[in-house]
Structure 1
Amino acid sequence: MTDDGIPVFALLVSALVVLIPAIVGLLMIAAGLRRWSRARRLTADGERALATVVDNQVESRRNGAVAFLPVVAFTTRDGRAVRTVLDLQASNRSHLSGSQQTVIFDPAKPERAMALDGQHAGMAAALVIGSVFLLFAGVALFLVSMIFLAPDGPFSTDPFFGGDNSFGGNPFGDTP
């Protein structure tokens, strides 16, 4: 028991069942919003160029899976040749060399280009999954508070509400 009568077990359950999903949800939402903000800024202020897929960068993922990221080459308006990896276009299949796609980029940092198409699905997925994690954390917080912190809950220390830590004391005293 802690000083205010809350069992340590309740605090541990709260931390695991509520805080971890809440933190994961907030991080996923933040990542989705950051990608969305960057894409919006680049769409409004960035330059566009027609890029050609010249290679694939292979990344190892969990469970032995492999992801292919397209390596593209394009030329900026001022004539600089740029070769970069489009890190938000991972696929389980190789990207065809020679295929073309429009990219947007900041003229000051053209190596951080993004494909113009196909970015919204990943951002939306991050926002939806992050929201689901937050919803789960909210429901878990409600349930944990009902179980561990309610005055008539099984871990209540109030003798009127069955404070003998049993799962069903008589609310009217010791009489059966």
Structure 2
Amino acid sequence: MNRFFLRAAAAPLLLALCMLNAHAQPGHPHVHGQVKLDVAIDVRAITIHVDSPLDSIVGFERAPRTDAERKTAQQALAQLRAAGKLFTIDPAAGCTLSQVDLDAPTLGLGKAPPVQAPGHGDLEGNIVFECRSPVQARYVDVGLFDAFSAIRQIDVQIATPDGQYQRTLKRPSARLTWGRQ
């Protein structure tokens, strides 16, 4: 399927989520151990936007200084790129991982670093799953707690054709649900 079409189809839902999130949380707080997810469900895809302090993913928020830190960062990025293992979508939707775009300027990924306080590096990612029937999905099992031990809480905004939902996941609860169960 055409990736441009998937991005164009998911863009309005993600834009709505980002605007809702920006309005609800001015100043974009940076909280260690806390990850934000925006989940957009449209007619052809499920798109997950991840926003996290680097500390929650790799254990530090600056460029790696040692071989051990470089290895930790590479392993974390590899796990995120294998997002199909981190996010297990309800089989009723018939989804397969299509695309993973990561942006972590401190680690040399993506755009130039924004002006930010020293020691406050972030990671953002867009993960797209192509689906036969995404609106049939009623849950996503989120594997971020198992993959990244520093994550304590995941705040989620979900936009579906049926409505918008807000959820919070805390260890050990890793199933994200919405709609009628």
Report if TM-score (shorter chain) is over 0.5: no
| TM-score, normalization by structure 1 | 0.22
- TM-score, scaled relative to structure 2: 0.22
Task: Name which one, 1 or 2, has greater alpha-carbon Rg.
Answer: 1
Larger helix proportion of the pair: 1
Considering Cα pairs closer than 8 Å and 6+ residues apart, tell me whether 1 or 2 has the greater RCO.
2
